[in-house]
Chains A and B, each alone.
Chain A
Amino acid sequence: MVQRNIKSEIDSKLHDPILRSNLERFSEQYPIARAKAYANVDSIEDLRDDLRDMKRYSVAHIEKLADEFQASLEKRGAKVFRAKDGDELKEQLMAICRENNVHNIVKSKSMATEEIRLNDYLEEKGLHVKETDLGEWMLSVAGQHPSHMVMPAIHLNRKQCAKFFSDELKEDIPSDIPFMVQTARKVMRKEFLKADMGISGANFGIAENGAIGLVTNEGNARIVTTLPPVHVIIIGYEKLIPKVSDASKIMRLLPRNGTGQRMVSYLTLVDGPTPIIHEKNGKLIEENKKVYAILLDNGRLKAAHDPVMKEVYQCVRCASCLNVCPIWSTVGGNVYGHIYSGGIGAILTGLLNGMDEFAQFSDLCIGCRRCTTVCPGKINIPDLIQELRNRRVAQKGLSTPEKIIFRRIMTNRKIFHSLLRAASLGQKPVKSGKFIRNLPLFFAKMTEGRSLPAIADKPFRDRAEELFKKNPTNPKMRVAFFSGCNLDFVFPETGESVVKVLQDIGAEVVYPQKQNCCGKPVVGAGDLDTARKLAKQNIKAMEETNADYIVAACPTCAETLKQTYKELFASDPVWLKRAEAMSKKVVEFTVFVEKAYAKENRLKDVQGMKKITYHDSCHMKRSLGIYKEPRELLNSAAGYKFVEMHGADQCCGMAGSFGMKYADLSKQLLNRKIDNIKQSGADTVAVACPACMMQIGGGLDKNAPEIKVKHIADILAENLK
């Protein structure tokens, strides 16, 4: 495996203006096209559920379906092989080529064959192989890889395409799109007419009758499966479905999600050998063509039996997860694996091409979860990536600095916190080097275009006692405040606001001093043992308070306490019980306050002088599903007028250590966010997440210092006496 330099690859993509403008234009258009395509469907959710359920059934019965598919095809006169990996498939295919005296092959898009680099192999063997999908053809001429599963050449412009045409055809082809397309038609038509074998993939294979479905707009798959006398189907196990009627479950979603079409131009269904009329011994005869199918395993069957990873079988390769991915739409698909890109690409690469390859770019998923809102198969892409990372750590271990920081420092709260305090004084060994980069607060390096906040002089934990003197005398409830590292050490004033707001709704607030980092950064790095230690510390600390509620004003902490701890202790019944008991008490700050305000009739539509907008944190909106409550609260904040910004729920680019490691890329996402904030005309942008506050605050500071970023707690506290 080649050791790649992903950072420099990303850098070159960030400086590719053609790529950038193509992707930007597309990601603006895509959501609109998708919505329009779904406009005549009753419930997208029902369709997604149907697809997911059907695919779940399929993977649970994969061997049975494979046997049935094979038997169906054999009964109809096709030959079926199974290949455990690329090498075996190549041998089987070569045997078929020899048997049928094949020289010229036309192919219609098949990702499985790209996964095993089939074309290179066939060409080495002296065969003439042509891709017939226009985009794939151009890329094969250019020696490039597809950057998208559905729009392989989206990173190119017409001039570049014209150059590939000219090089291949050895004549000057002008960069006129219709002319190029007509040229391609003529060139490819010749290939079709002389081909003696057609190779196709399959979008689905139906077990009950052995038919395959091929989805194209160009229609090349129809010609590939019609003209040549031999047809070879190369199909991965994940494409098998039980019945003919199940195909509609794919087809109602795939085109709408993939390209924003209600249907593609051609959905071709081929089942077994079909007639062909061709010349034999000088005269035209009609006979059945030869059909072969090769079922490719290459890691798929192992995935099918993996309780977590079997979810990848729900993928129909629509690529919509890329279309909405902030990273893909900034740098394109070529920075991922050689064929499968985006988040799902990372997973597929890990399962099918190997974990070493996966590990090189797996951290390009920032966990924003946008993909999970569109994926037709309802795959939890970021969770599967996290699972693979965890396994990698379990297998290969952590890097040394991570090991020291997570295991020795973070689990020892006293050392950890005294180091953080030392950081506030700018003490050398702490501020430089690896320590700070791996901290849960990513405030180390100052980067161009974004200033990062420093550690506060006096952390929240040292201010707490003073604040609690103002606890109500007749409290309605007892609330334990879980600050998380950011509100404790970076934004203690916001922590103070939280307390004020809670006290105002009648809460007696307590702050368990023994609380530690929630553990999210450690979970993210895959060190689950350390995460469990932190979880135990926090559960103990919270139990000791005997509070009615545990409130966190950081969505990441809230999610970790409420959800992740239970997962961490899934096989430890004693701690699971304690985690569950705590989980019931955990409430995110805005949800807690909104409910109280609603009860007290304090929610109203206020039209103040200062315009305020709201940025949805990825975790808040898509993990916790909270987006209404913050808006309700802002709507009723005295002195403010609430306005929505464009792309309110797009990631600000912080996303944990990602923002540090890929600072330039993170900055691009931040710039997009800042532009949207500016365009909203707001003077203040509200957030409910301290990490977003850090990132956006840093961006505003450099680019639009007149706009302020505030945590909702600060806004609510402003209006309290």
Chain B
Amino acid sequence: MKKICHEWQKYLDKGFIDKKYWESFKENAQAASVELKEIKSYDEALPIIEALIDEVNAQKLAGVGQDDSKAIMNIYHELGKKHQIYTDKFAITENAPILDIGISTAEFGVGETGSICVDNYSYEARLVSMLPPINIVFMNKNNIVDTMTEAFEILEQVFDKGYTGFVTGPSRTSDIERVLTLGVHGPSRLILFAVDE
């Protein structure tokens, strides 16, 4: 999958990330309506996703990021046994308008705001994270930076061209009477698996 950087971890490890930012990340992400799932390993996500599929009666899923992570590939493989899950970019594109759940990845989180940094250079990564009503995201729980200042210092080093950015909770609007309503254009639910790798 096309990314703006294939070595995020190398830059994150230059002293930007620290476990101590986790608590504020958690607080801010939850305040922004992120459904946060702290898990020890990737397999723990599987039953949670299965339950979600049942809950919303999802028919079609799509996922990206398997070429960078064996664990994610395995999850898609397992999900594929019982469900329709697209992982090929052309198949994702073809089915994008009718997907129920999209699965993607994030590079790191920002403590100050509860945001996740997403590398969405690839078209399919943007589709799965924006078009379906539910977006599931995998992120390394240890990859949390302090503030937006550090977040952009990292981008300063890795962002030469392409498509990236920060996602902080689901799509929302308050345009009618300032009443907060989720899911106006993008997902109404953002489920974040923070994996303690």
Q: Which residues of chain A have C-beta atoms less than 8 A from B28's C-beta? A: 40, 262-263
Interface membership of B185, Cβ < 8 A: yes
- Which residues of A, 127-161, contact B by the 8 Å Cβ criterion? 132-135, 138, 151-154, 156-158, 161
Q: Which residues of chain A have C-beta atoms less than 8 A from B176's C-beta? A: 134, 138, 153, 156, 158, 161, 177, 180-181
B152 A263 Cβ-Cβ under 8 A: no
Interface membership of B148, Cβ < 8 A: yes
A286 B161 Cβ-Cβ under 8 A: no
- A62 to B: closest C-beta gap in Å: 21
A193 B97 Cβ-Cβ under 8 A: yes
Interface membership of A461, Cβ < 8 A: no
- Which residues of A, 205-264, contact B by the 8 Å Cβ criterion? 209-211, 213, 217-220, 222-223, 225-226, 243-248, 251-252, 259, 261-264
B126 A226 Cβ-Cβ under 8 A: yes
Surface stretch bound by A, among B12-20, B41-49, B53-61, B116-124: B116-124
Q: Which residues of chain A have C-beta atoms less than 8 A from B170's C-beta? A: 265
10 smallest CB-CB distances across A and B, nearest first, come from: A219-B186, A135-B175, A263-B113, A248-B152, A219-B171, A268-B165, A277-B93, A263-B168, A244-B156, A134-B175
Interface membership of A188, Cβ < 8 A: yes
Contact of B185 among A152, A218, A275 (CB under 8 A): A218
A265 B175 Cβ-Cβ under 8 A: no
Interface membership of A476, Cβ < 8 A: no
Interface size bracket, B side: 35 or more
Q: Which residues of chain B have C-beta atoms less than 8 A from A268's C-beta? A: 163, 165
- B191 to A: closest C-beta gap in Å: 15
Q: Which residues of chain A have C-beta atoms less than 8 A from B171's C-beta? A: 217-219, 265-266
Contact of B184 among A40, A151, A181, A246 (CB under 8 A): A181
Other than the given A218-B186, A263-B28, A274-B121, 17 more pairs (CB < 8 A) read A132-B185, A135-B175, A151-B175, A211-B159, A217-B172, A219-B171, A248-B149, A248-B152, A251-B148, A252-B112, A259-B174, A265-B32, A265-B168, A265-B186, A267-B168, A269-B163, A272-B161
Interface membership of A574, Cβ < 8 A: no
Q: Contact residues of A with B, CB < 8 Å?
A: 22, 25-26, 40-41, 76, 132-135, 138, 151-154, 156-158, 161, 177-178, 180-182, 184-185, 188-189, 193, 209-211, 213, 217-220, 222-223, 225-226, 243-248, 251-252, 259, 261-272, 274-278, 284, 286
A40 B165 Cβ-Cβ under 8 A: no
Contact of B32 among A161, A251, A263 (CB under 8 A): A263
B175 A153 Cβ-Cβ under 8 A: yes
A181 B148 Cβ-Cβ under 8 A: no
- B152 to A: closest C-beta gap in Å: 4
Q: Kindly state the separation between the CA atoms of A153 and B179 in the bound complex, as whole angstroms.
A: 12
Residue of B nearest to A273 (CB): B161
- A193 to B: closest C-beta gap in Å: 6
- B28 to A: closest C-beta gap in Å: 6
Q: Kindly state the separation between the CA atoms of A278 and B124 in the bound complex, as whole angstroms.
A: 11
Q: Which residues of chain B have C-beta atoms less than 8 A from A26's C-beta? A: 178
Residue of B93, B166, B172, B185 with most partner-chain A CB within 10 A: B185
Q: Kindly state the separation between the CA atoms of A189 and B113 in the bound complex, as whole angstroms.
A: 29
Q: Which residues of chain A have C-beta atoms less than 8 A from B166's C-beta? A: 263, 266-267
Residue of B nearest to A248 (CB): B152
- B146 to A: closest C-beta gap in Å: 11
Q: Which residues of chain B have C-beta atoms less than 8 A from A276's C-beta? A: 123
Residue of A180, A251, A261 with most partner-chain B CB within 10 A: A251
A286 B168 Cβ-Cβ under 8 A: no
Interface membership of B169, Cβ < 8 A: yes
Q: Which residues of chain A have C-beta atoms less than 8 A from B172's C-beta? A: 217-218, 265
Q: Which residues of chain B have C-beta atoms less than 8 A from A275's C-beta? A: 2, 121-123
B186 A271 Cβ-Cβ under 8 A: no
B173 A181 Cβ-Cβ under 8 A: yes
Q: List 14 A-B contacts (CB under 8 A).
A: A25-B178, A138-B175, A161-B176, A181-B176, A218-B184, A219-B171, A225-B163, A226-B123, A262-B114, A266-B186, A269-B159, A274-B121, A274-B162, A286-B90
Contact of A134 among B89, B163, B184 (CB under 8 A): B184
- A122 to B: closest C-beta gap in Å: 22
Q: Kindly state the separation between the CA atoms of A157 and B130 in the bound complex, as whole angstroms.
A: 28
Interface membership of B181, Cβ < 8 A: yes
Q: Which residues of chain B have C-beta atoms less than 8 A from A247's C-beta? A: 152, 155
B122 A40 Cβ-Cβ under 8 A: no
B159 A244 Cβ-Cβ under 8 A: yes
- B96 to A: closest C-beta gap in Å: 9
Q: Which residues of chain A have C-beta atoms less than 8 A from B124's C-beta? A: 277
Contact of B173 among A22, A134, A248, A269 (CB under 8 A): A134
Q: Which residues of chain A have C-beta atoms less than 8 A from B67's C-beta? A: none
Interface membership of B24, Cβ < 8 A: yes
Q: Kindly state the separation between the CA atoms of A76 and B168 in the bound complex, as whole angstroms.
A: 28
B168 A264 Cβ-Cβ under 8 A: yes
Q: Kindly state the separation between the CA atoms of A629 and B174 in the bound complex, as whole angstroms.
A: 42
Residue of B nearest to A165 (CB): B176
A177 in contact with B152 given A263-B115, A264-B168 (CB within 8 Å): no
Q: Which residues of chain A have C-beta atoms less than 8 A from B153's C-beta? A: 245, 248
A222 B130 Cβ-Cβ under 8 A: yes
Interface membership of B167, Cβ < 8 A: yes
Q: Kindly state the separation between the CA atoms of A268 and B119 in the bound complex, as whole angstroms.
A: 10
Q: Kindly state the separation between the CA atoms of A318 and B153 in the bound complex, as whole angstroms.
A: 23
- A129 to B: closest C-beta gap in Å: 17
Contact of A181 among B123, B152, B183 (CB under 8 A): B183
A271 in contact with B159 given A40-B112, A153-B175, A188-B185 (CB within 8 Å): yes
Q: Which residues of chain A have C-beta atoms less than 8 A from B169's C-beta? A: 265
- B195 to A: closest C-beta gap in Å: 22
- A371 to B: closest C-beta gap in Å: 21
Q: Which residues of chain B have C-beta atoms less than 8 A from A259's C-beta? A: 174
Q: Kindly state the separation between the CA atoms of A634 and B160 in the bound complex, as whole angstroms.
A: 60
Contact of A252 among B147, B156, B161, B165 (CB under 8 A): B147
- A654 to B: closest C-beta gap in Å: 31
- B163 to A: closest C-beta gap in Å: 5
Residue of B115, B151, B165, B170 with most partner-chain A CB within 10 A: B165
- A271 to B: closest C-beta gap in Å: 5
Q: Which residues of chain A have C-beta atoms less than 8 A from B185's C-beta? A: 132, 185, 188-189, 218-220, 222-223
A284 in contact with B90 given A267-B165, A271-B163 (CB within 8 Å): yes
